[in-house]
Amino acid sequence: MRELIIITVILFSGVVSSNAQIKPGRYLIGGGLNIYNAKYVQPLPVAEVDYLSTNIQLGRVVKENTVVGVNFSSANGKNHYSDLPDSNYSSTNAYSAGLFYRKYKKLAKDFYFFAEVNASYDYSKNDQKQYFQGITTGSHSISNGGSAAFIPGISYAVCKRMQMDLLIPNLFTISYAHRKTDYTSSNLPQKPTEKGNVFSLNTNLNSGLLSSFGIGFKFFIGK
């Protein structure tokens, strides 16, 4: 699929003249939508996975080759048995909103190197339920925190208003979250609660770096 997208872009760019410029006053629009559904019929009962994620990026070119804007994203997923709605399941809902700063550096005609930094507020909720040997257990977890990431990449001007990004997602990420989890069990009279803070610092510099590239598209509108 990725190869097909690249080939399509190359063919399209061969017939469209770009003359792209990232000029002050223009607006950047980007985003994506991912929908996934799968059913596993063996072994019975039928297991089903549903997943939906969206992200939106809106920005303004405040000076030549410099964009400032906002990010929004959400992800919702559920694993369950479609023919046994009250049995085992796991669901997750996550939301994020923040700011980004992106700087472009022209390398050649229609090619740019870019570096982006972003910071966001992150919220997630997870619910689980398990039934085993007559005992029902479950958990309800809520996480609040923030994160910051550094994302470099290469951008190619497919046409005057559209650019294709080849990027390394979250080359460097730092995050902090406060998490609270309530546990339930049919054989316990009380609900144990667990609270804690999670701090993480991650880099994408490993042997699989070359397989971590992502492809995205950005649109510039305005004069």
Nearest alpha-carbon partner for 144 in 121, 174, 173: 121
How do residues 150-160 score in pLDDT, each as one tens digit? 999 999 999 88
Q: Is the pLDDT of residue 111 over 70?
A: yes
**Token pair recorded at residue 173:** 């990420």
pTM above 0.85, yes or no: no
Task: Respond yes or no on whether the N-terminal peptide bond of residue 85 is cis (omega within 30° of 0).
Answer: no
pLDDT of 47 reads 79
Tell me the average pLDDT across 124-133: 86
Tell me the average pLDDT across 171-177: 92
How do residues 5-28 score in pLDDT, each as one tens digit? 443 444 344 434 445 578 899 999
Tell me the average pLDDT across 162-167: 90
Domain chopping of the chain, boundaries: 2-221
Q: Calculate the dihedral angle through the C-alpha atoms of 69, 56, 170, 215, rounding to the nearest 10 degrees.
A: -110
**Token pair recorded at residue 187:** 């054989």
Class of 2-221 per CATH?
mainly beta
Nearest alpha-carbon partner for 57 in 165, 144, 154: 165
